[in-house]
Amino acid sequence: FGNVLVKAMIPQTVMEFIVNSISNKYVFLLILNLALLLVGMFMETVSAITILTPIILPVAVAFGINPIHLGIIMVLNLMIGVVSPPFGVVLFAINKVGEISFGRLVKAMVPWFIVLLAALAIVTMLPWTCTWLPSTMGLGGL
């Protein structure tokens, strides 16, 4: 799937459209969250990070988003994506290994999705939650 995306230049086209049509940092972050959640449902995390980071990072920096903040947003979104129905690959693994019906598994995950999405919203809208510790430790003027 990753090869198809790269060869079709879909990530570059989407980011180009976003840069040309969005002027607000928070609108960019919202669209980024939605896009990464969707990507996380279909792609492996490492592949998604490898393909998307070089495309997203310059745009995020242009909006004034700290690279550490962006990295944590990306990882959280992709992590939530791999456990999200209907295509989250981790759900299928749990379904087979745990011998639990898919419907029962999804029902059990709903409260956790709410918590994960709340954490994602907090991290996205309050960048200091990601950058406080590195800046306290004096790591690179973050």
pLDDT in tens, 36-59: 999 998 888 898 999 889 888 888
pLDDT tier at 5, thresholds 50, 70, 90: low
pLDDT value of position 140: 58
pLDDT at 1 over 70: no
pLDDT of 90 reads 84
Examine residue 142 and state whether it is found in any structural domain, yes or no: no
Pairwise CA distance, residues 89 & 59, whole Å:
29
116 assigned to some structural domain: yes
Predicted local confidence at residue 9, as pLDDT: 75
> Considering the domain boundaries, does residue 70 fall inside one?
yes
**Encoding tokens for residue 50?**
């490898």
Structure tokens at 45: 């995390």
**Direct distance between the N- and C-terminal alpha carbons of the chain, in angstroms, rounded to an integer:** 35
- The H-or-E segment that residue 67 falls in is helix 67-82
Answer whether residue 101 is part of any domain.
yes
* 46 inside domain: yes
Q: Is residue 125 part of a domain?
A: yes
Planar angle of CA 92, 102, 108, nearest 5 degrees: 105
Q: Amino acid letter at 90?
A: V
User: How does pLDDT run across 73-103, given as a tens digit for each residue?
Assistant: 999 999 999 888 777 778 888 888 888 888 8
Q: What is the total count of domains within the chain?
A: 1
Q: Do the Cβ atoms of 9 and 54 come closer than 8 Å? A: no
How does DSSP classify residue 43?
Answer: S
Residue type, 24: N
Query: Does residue 68 fall inside a structural domain?
Result: yes
pTM over 0.75: yes
Mean pLDDT on 103-119: 91
Kindly report the three-state secondary structure assignment for every residue of 105-130.
HHHHHHHHHHHHHHHHHHHHHCCHHH
Instruction: Report the length, in residues, of the chain.
Output: 142
Q: How many Cβ atoms sit within 10 Å of the Cβ of residue 113?
A: 14
Domain that holds residue 108: 2-136
Whole-number Å distance between alpha carbons of 29 and 110: 24
More confident residue, 88 or 110: 110
Query: Is 97 in a helix, a strand, or coil?
Result: helix
